[in-house]
Structures are given as C-alpha cells and as structure tokens.
C-alpha cells in the first residue's frame, strides 16, 4: 500500500515546492489518529509527514520532515514507489533498477 504526494517541481529529485516549512504542510501527509499499520506500506512526500497520536507503522517513510505527536514504532522494510523497481508490498521486483522518480502515470482518489 502506498500513500504518495507527487513532486510538484520537475527537477528529477524530491523537491518540496514550499519555500519554508510553515508552507510545506500544503504538500503533507497527515493523520491526527493513532495509527496501527501492520501491512507493508509506504508514505512518500517531498515535504512532510505528521502523525498526531503515534502508533505503529510497518514499511517505509520518505519525507523532508517527520513530526510525531506520540510514541511511534516504525518497523522498516525496503520498498520502492510503484513503477520505480525495488521491493514492493508483495515482495516482487529487483532492488535498485531505477534511481529516480518519473512522471505521474495515474492517480485515483479512494473515499
């Protein structure tokens, strides 16, 4: 499972479009709830991740900043974003086949 905020700056590297961290949260991943994610999942944003009440996360996080509001246990697993190669939640793919993110291929909102 992936939670991805696409890069808004097309410079072939993760660049937060905000000029200071007070505005970076426009591109954030945020949860005020206590999380309990035990399946392999990845959060990616070039800006910031905020977890309000702590909990458990299994997988990977990539962000310019991480803020947590409580105790959080992070059980890391090697993962890549979809289409990048590497090891995904299903464990398939080869590590290191792509060195940078490409253009957004598809996007879907799930209620």
pLDDT at 25: 59
Residue 104 has a pLDDT of 62
Q: With bands split at pLDDT 50, 70 and 90, how would you rate the model's confidence at 106?
A: low
pLDDT at 82 over 60: yes
Q: What is the pLDDT of residues 18-41, one digit of tens each?
A: 766 566 556 788 887 788 888 888
User: What does 64-99 look like in DSSP terms, one character per residue?
Assistant: SEEEESS-EEEEE-----TTS-S--TT--S-TTS-S
Closest CA to 89 of 73, 78, 74: 78
pLDDT tens-digit profile of 42-74? 888 888 888 888 888 898 888 888 888 778 888
Least confident of 52-56, 74-78, 81-85: 81-85
In this predicted structure, what is the pLDDT of residue 110? 64
Determine the pLDDT at residue 86.
53
């Amino acid at each position: 499972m992936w939670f991805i905020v696409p890069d808004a700056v097309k410079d072939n590297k993760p660049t937060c479009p905000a000029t200071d961290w007070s505005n970076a949260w426009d591109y954030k991943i945020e949860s005020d709830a206590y999380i309990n994610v035990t399946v392999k999942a990845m959060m990616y944003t070039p800006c910031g991740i905020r977890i309000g009440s702590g909990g458990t996360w299994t997988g990977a996080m990539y962000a310019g900043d991480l803020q947590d509001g409580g105790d959080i246990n992070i059980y890391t697993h090697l993962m890549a974003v979809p289409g990048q190669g590497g090891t995904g939640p299903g464990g398939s793919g080869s590590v290191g086949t792509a060195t940078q993110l490409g253009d957004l291929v598809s996007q879907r909102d799930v209620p």
